[in-house]
């Protein structure tokens, strides 16, 4: 992998990740951009104990542009985009309309390929390996920013999810706090460790799932399963067999096997609802341990946390979506229409040839 860092016309950082060591990335951003002005603010909810990002400048972000005006495609002639060069393998750049900025963190966009019509599942294993390298590198770099406590790499796929740019891309959020979802995991981890005399909850969950009926696929280094209490109609958790706190700690075996396993999962997701169905909308979310000390979670260290990826869709059956209505949105109590055991069975049925 070759990494080349440069700056866009408004001062934002852009980084090329190339498969070839001889790639030259010296194209300048020729757009007449002014400096990006953001109004991001983190407000804490005293009753719920969580946080909300207030970012009014995002109202003006790019919204469903035609393909020939996509800001994530390479620049061609006088059609200038966020990527100055005429081609790229993987690109990461600071979001022009970030939810988090300055002391409130940082938001980045990850372009998986220059091919506007592709999906992540269309990538080669070599390309996926490069994306994994980019996620890992950004996790490392962002973790050293003074304002950052947790790094979240994710992909939203599909208009049903709320994606406003059709180009294959993901995002990275660097939060200045431990997110509420991670805090819940850490509290459960601490309580289980105390109650069992030291047992790790992530290890116990993985051991239980491996012995059960919800495993979707297994590799030498990775295991994918539908969790016992899945929130979403089709939800898969992907764990490395060896517990590690973050992407940086994956060994070479796990890193090498990941592209094959992950591409298989994504391709199965597109087969869930049968032939002729539109691509399955999904969210793919990496869960990594926060950086720094975990003083609020007594008895737990970063090494107790287990890196894992959660992949889920909001489509519950052909032509129907799972909406977060009264119970889910009002009380945070999910109601799942698809039994996790049946979801796992279906995902095994649609194994690619």
pLDDT tens per residue across span 62-77: 777 888 899 999 999 9
> What is the chain's Cα-based Rg?
20
Cβ atoms of 280 and 317 closer than 8 Å = no
Q: What is the pLDDT of residues 282-315, one digit of tens each?
A: 999 999 999 988 888 989 999 999 999 999 999 9
Q: Is 44 a catalytic residue?
A: no
Q: Which of 167, 169, 192, 308 is catalytic?
A: 169
Which tokens belong to 213? 């009926």
Where helices occur in 144-227 by DSSP H, the ranges are: 180-196, 201-210
Residue 352 is predicted with a pLDDT of 63
- Distance from C-alpha of 252 to C-alpha of 235, rounded to nearest angstrom: 27
Residue 348 is predicted with a pLDDT of 97
Dihedral sign for Cα 147, 153, 155, 156, please. negative
- Distance from C-alpha of 151 to C-alpha of 240, rounded to nearest angstrom: 18
- Distance from C-alpha of 37 to C-alpha of 193, rounded to nearest angstrom: 45
Pair type for strands 222-225 and 234-240: antiparallel
- Distance from C-alpha of 298 to C-alpha of 327, rounded to nearest angstrom: 32
264: burial class by Cβ within 10 Å (0-12, 13-18, 19+)? middle
Residue 23 is predicted with a pLDDT of 96
What are residue 67's phi and psi, to 5 degrees? -55, -35
For residue 77, is it left (φ>0), alpha (ψ between -120 and 50) or beta? left
Cβ atoms of 171 and 154 closer than 8 Å = yes
Residue 212 is predicted with a pLDDT of 96
Residues 6+ away with beta carbon under 8 Å from 223: 206, 209, 210, 215, 217, 238, 239, 241
Which tokens belong to 150? 């947790």
Residue 205 is predicted with a pLDDT of 98
Which residues of the chain fall below pLDDT 70? 60, 352-353
Count CB-CB contacts under 10 A for residue 92.
25
């Amino acid at each position: 992998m070759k990494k080349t860092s440069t700056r866009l016309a408004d001062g934002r950082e852009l980084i090329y990740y190339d498969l070839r060591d001889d790639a030259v990335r010296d194209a300048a951003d020729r757009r007449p951009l002014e400096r990006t002005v953001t109004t991001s603010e983190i407000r804490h909810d005293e009753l719920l104990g969580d946080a909300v990002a207030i970012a009014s400048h995002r109202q003006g972000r790019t919204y469903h542009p035609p393909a020939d005006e996509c800001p994530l495609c390479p620049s061609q002639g006088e059609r200038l985009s966020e990527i100055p060069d005429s081609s790229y393998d993987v690109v990461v750049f600071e979001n022009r309309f970030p939810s988090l900025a300055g002391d409130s963190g940082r938001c980045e966009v990850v372009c998986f390929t220059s091919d506007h019509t592709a999906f992540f599942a269309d990538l080669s294993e070599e390309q996926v390996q490069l994306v994994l390298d980019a996620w890992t590198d950004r996790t490392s770099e962002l973790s050293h920013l003074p304002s950052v406590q947790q790094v979240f790499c994710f992909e939203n796929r599909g208009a049903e999810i709320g994606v406003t740019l059709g180009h294959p891309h993901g995002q990275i959020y660097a939060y200045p706090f431990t997110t509420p979802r991670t805090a819940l995991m850490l509290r459960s981890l601490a309580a289980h460790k105390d109650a069992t005399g030291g047992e790790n909850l992530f290890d116990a969950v993985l051991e239980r799932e491996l012995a059960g009926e919800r495993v979707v696929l297994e590799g030498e280094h990775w295991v994918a399963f539908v969790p016992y209490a899945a929130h979403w109609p089709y939800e898969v958790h992907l764990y490395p067999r060896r517990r590690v706190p973050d992407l940086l700690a994956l060994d070479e075996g796990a890193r090498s096997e990941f592209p094959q396993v992950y591409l298989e999962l994504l391709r199965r997701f597109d087969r869930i609802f049968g032939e002729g169905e539109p691509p399955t909308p999904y969210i793919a979310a990496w869960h990594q341990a926060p950086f720094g000390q975990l003083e609020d979670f007594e008895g737990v260290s970063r090494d107790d946390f287990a890196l894992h990826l959660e992949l889920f869709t909001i489509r519950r059956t052909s032509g129907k979506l799972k909406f977060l209505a009264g119970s889910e949105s009002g009380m945070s109590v999910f109601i799942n229409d698809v039994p996790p055991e049946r979801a796992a069975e279906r995902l095994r049925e649609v194994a690619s040839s």
